[in-house]
Amino acid sequence: MKKIGIVGKTGKTEPAEMIKEFLPWLLEQGCEVYIDSETASIAGMQGYPRSEIPALVDMIIVLGGDGTMISVARLVGHRNVAILGVNIGGMGFLTAVQKEEFRDAMKKVLTDNCPVEERMMLSACVFRHSECIAEYSVMNDVVVNKGALARIIDLETYVNHTYIATFKADGLIVSTPTGSTAYALSAGGPILYPTLNSIILAPICPHTLTNRPIVLPDDIVIEVFLKSPNEDVFLTLDGQVGFSLKMNDIVMVKKSSCKTHLFIPCEKDYFHILRTKLKWGER
């Protein structure tokens, strides 16, 4: 773990300030450091295009929030590059290391004393006239949803070619266990332990209140057929990438061959995160 990439939250000065503080220490440990161009320029240094960093390094340090972590996970793709998240954002479910804990956490990473956890990802493909016209890998969720002024949409849904229902709703969420504490939680979905091999299917504001989220095994294929002529319907990937859908488009979602590898801060288990971030046990 001597080749280290650093990716900072876009548009923020805090990552550059942290780099100035910790870069000399990392270099003293014998590390080669590759900083993304935008963050490096703010710090007055030479950087590397963000898209090239995963191919150059053994691990990536993310200085930001969960959104930055998720974008880096998609960037890493099939490469076996583990990610350490340092929280300078908001909630910080994935970026669980605080700034003041960074040096201690990195000492454990550099001495192979920090465990790495594998998280499943999803693959989503949009078919139009039997042709795959867009394909994505996501860490959190794949969402079909309507625009703000659009009517309820009809989503004919299948699992392994077996018909489930035609959901009349504002949309539909297909989520990984990691994403179970994100949009799917707001839609009434369950919290899944992040290493489970499961997929959540959760309708958004369904017209029929008995349409509830369901947990499915990860070896299935979900197909969602858009049956509404509404032009204002979108596919959203991890809440960060969007794609406009048309009537009769098919969104196929399945487990991705990619996995995200996360350094888990030592002495911080998942239930600690639930207690601190979701205030479990408080009144």
- Interval 4-63: pLDDT, tens: 999 999 888 899 999 999 999 999 999 999 999 999 999 889 999 999 999 999 999 999
- Amino acid (one-letter) located at 232: D
Q: Are 85 and 97 in contact (CB under 8 A)?
A: yes
Region(s) of the chain under CATH 3.40.50.10330: 3-115+264-277
* Residue 95: closest CA among 71, 114, 67: 67
CA distances from 148 to 170, 172, 216, 246 (A): 9, 15, 29, 16
Q: How far apart are CA 168 and CA 150, in angstroms?
A: 13
Q: Does residue 66 have an active-site annotation?
A: yes
Region(s) of the chain under CATH 2.60.200.30: 121-257
Bridge partners for 137 per DSSP: 123
Q: Are 194 and 119 in contact (CB under 8 A)?
A: yes
Write down the catalytic residue from 36, 66, 141, 170: 66
CA distances from 123 to 56, 57, 60, 199, 282 (A): 25, 24, 22, 12, 37
Q: Concatenate the DSSP letters of all residues of 270-282 into one string.
A: HHHHHHHHS-TT-
Return the pLDDT at 89: 66
Sheet architecture: strand order including 171-175: 214-217, 198-204, 171-175, 141-146, 233-237, 241-245
Q: Which fold has domain 3-115+264-277?
A: Rossmann fold (3.40.50)
Q: Could you confirm whether domain 121-257 is CATH 1.10.3210.10?
A: no
Q: Are 263 and 69 in contact (CB under 8 A)?
A: no
Q: What is the pLDDT along the chain (283 residues), one digit of tens a residue?
A: 689 999 999 888 899 999 999 999 999 999 999 999 999 999 889 999 999 999 999 999 999 999 999 999 999 989 999 999 999 867 778 887 888 889 999 999 999 899 999 999 999 999 999 999 999 999 999 999 998 777 899 999 999 999 999 999 999 999 999 999 999 999 999 999 999 999 999 999 999 888 999 999 999 999 999 999 877 899 999 999 999 999 999 999 999 999 999 998 877 788 888 888 888 888 7
